Chains A and B, each alone.
Chain A
Amino acid sequence: DTAVSQTPKYLVTQMGNDKSIKCEQNLGHDTMYWYKQDSKKFLKIMFSYNNKELIINETVPNRFSPKSPDKAHLNLHINSLELGDSAVYFCASSPWAVAGSVQYFGPGTRLTVT
């Protein structure tokens, strides 16, 4: 059983398009996250939800919009894709929104914008 899953695994699209990435966790965790890993492997948090409520919203262009329909799902919608959006996007979850909580990562979605 996959703990944190993401779809799709690969996404190739053209500039200006709108796309979504889906994430699901079956761990019963309260908190979910989206991270962006760039070509230099630098990992940066984008958003975090706790029980469907947004608790972390980093400086991310408002073309990126997360949505959490329930605490097991956190989707990421990106409007008007740009070349600089090309990266690997990781979803993660943790049991609670507390500082010492371990995060469990999905396998990543490699987004390529041409």
Chain B
Amino acid sequence: AQSVAQPEDQVNVAEGNPLTVKCTYSVSGNPYLFWYVQYPNRGLQFLLKYITGDNLVKGSYGFEAEFNKSQTSFHLKKPSALVSDSALYFCAVGGISGTYKYIFGTGTRLKVLA
């Protein structure tokens, strides 16, 4: 079965420290991978995506993600966390079974402590 896993419900990090939010996937074929962020009482906002090419993808607000085919992972990273980065982060895989459908992970709440 095709799936996306975000193993951590919550990640706490001190402001100024690097952050990593983990995502692993299990899909057949080449995946289309996305990260979205959800602030309280808001809809999801696109951060970045991987389709093909360079394994390190840069996105909005200083975020980047590394695609690792052998580990089937697409971890979200930022070199220096800000308190304003605190939000719910979703990993998603698109192109499921040749369709336009996304599967979203269960979300990871990031808390950046001042």
**Which residues in A have some Cβ–Cβ distance to B below 8 Å?**
4, 31, 40-45, 48, 50, 55-56, 90, 92, 94, 97-108
Contacts and interface: CB of A to CB of B under 8 A. Distances in A.
B43 A4 contact: yes
Contacts of A48: 100-101
Given A100-B95, A102-B34, 15 more contacts: A40-B106, A41-B106, A42-B107, A44-B104, A48-B100, A55-B100, A56-B99, A56-B101, A90-B43, A99-B95, A99-B100, A100-B51, A106-B43, A107-B43, A108-B41
B88 A90 contact: no
Given A41-B107, A56-B99, A99 B45 contact: no
B49 A102 contact: yes
B44 interface: yes
B90 interface: yes
A43 B95 contact: no
Interface string B94-106: 1100111110101
Contacts, number: 63
Interface of B: 32, 34, 36, 38, 41-46, 49, 51, 88, 90, 94-95, 98-102, 104, 106-107
A48 to B, nearest CB: 6
A22 to B, nearest CB: 15
Nearest to B47: A102
A16 to B, nearest CB: 28
